[in-house]
Amino acid sequence: MASRPKVTQQKRARERARQERQQEKLRRRDEAKVRRANMPAGAAGDEDPDIAGIVPGPQPSPWGDDDLLDDTEEDVENSARVNGGSQ
C-alpha cells in the first residue's frame, strides 16, 4: 500500500477541522434560536435606558435659555438696519 503524502493528510485535517467548526456554529445558532423563542417578550429590554423617553425632533433646552437666542437674533436684525443692511 502506498503511503499518502504529508500534505494530503494535513489538508484532510484542515478540512475536517473546518467542518467541525461549521457544525459547532450551526449548533450555537440553533441554541440561540431556541433561547430567543423561549424568552418572554418584554424581558429583552427593548428600549435603551439611556434614550428612554426621548422624542424625535428638536428637544427643549435643559437650561431654559431659549429667550436668550431670540434676543440675539433681534440684535442682529437691529444692527443690520442701523448699518444699512450690510450684514
The Cα-based distances of 23 to 13, 33, 34, 48 in angstroms read 15, 15, 17, 34
Q: What pLDDT, in 10s, does the model give residues 35-46?
A: 989 887 655 567
Q: Please write the tens of the pLDDT for every residue from 53-87.
A: 788 888 778 887 766 555 555 665 666 565 665 54
Domain extents in the chain:
1-36
How far is 30 from 22, CA to CA, in rounded Å?
12
Long-range CB contacts (< 8 A, 24+ apart) of 64-70? none
Predicted local distance difference test score (pLDDT) of residue 64: 77
